[in-house]
Amino acid sequence: EVQLLESGGDLVQPGGSLRLSCAASGFTFSSYAVSWVRQAPGKGLEWVSAISSNGGRTYYADSVKGRFTISRDNSKNTLYLQMNSLRAEDTAVYYCAREVSASGFFDHWGQGTLVTVSS
């Protein structure tokens, strides 16, 4: 069974940093591109960042470019999101999601981890 399990969400002050993790199991992690997608409380979905299967290519939404860094460790079957210079508007549930054939749509999602940016 495909599983994605996010962790690392917390309450952090504006300007602070946080690292999210997503542990994958039940499939060959190194064969799939993966993304982070977030959802602010009561709002819709927003794609944040993506990384290719071997980690060689990364992509970011303009809203996080220069502040967030996506990475992966295929030996640990884990995806990461390093979040710096956090703002109130980054408050959201962050989901990791597996892409189908590196196409850009998602067939499996984690349960999400909540990041709250507030003083």
Partner 1 sequence: EIVLTQSPGTLSLSPGERATLSCRASQSVNRNYLAWYQQKPGQAPRLLIYGASSRATGIPDRISGSGSGTDFTLTISRLEPEDFAVYYCQQYGSTPLTFGGGTKVEIK
Residue with smaller CB distance to partner 1, 66 or 105:
105
Close Cβ partners of 90 (under 8 Å, ≥ 6 residues apart) = 38, 64, 83, 115, 117
Instruction: Find the shortest distance in angstroms from Cβ 39 to partner 1.
Output: 9
Residue with smaller CB distance to partner 1, 11 or 100:
100
Is the separation of the CB atoms in 95 and 112 below 8 Å? yes
Instruction: Find the shortest distance in angstroms from Cβ 90 to partner 1.
Output: 16
Structure tokens at 63: 């809203």
Residue with smaller CB distance to partner 1, 72 or 108:
108
Structure tokens at 64: 């996080």
Binding site for partner 1 (CB under 8 A): 35, 44-47, 50, 59, 61-62, 95, 100, 103-107, 109-112
Instruction: Find the shortest distance in angstroms from Cβ 3 to partner 1.
Output: 12
- Rounded distance, CA 3 to CA 67, Å? 28
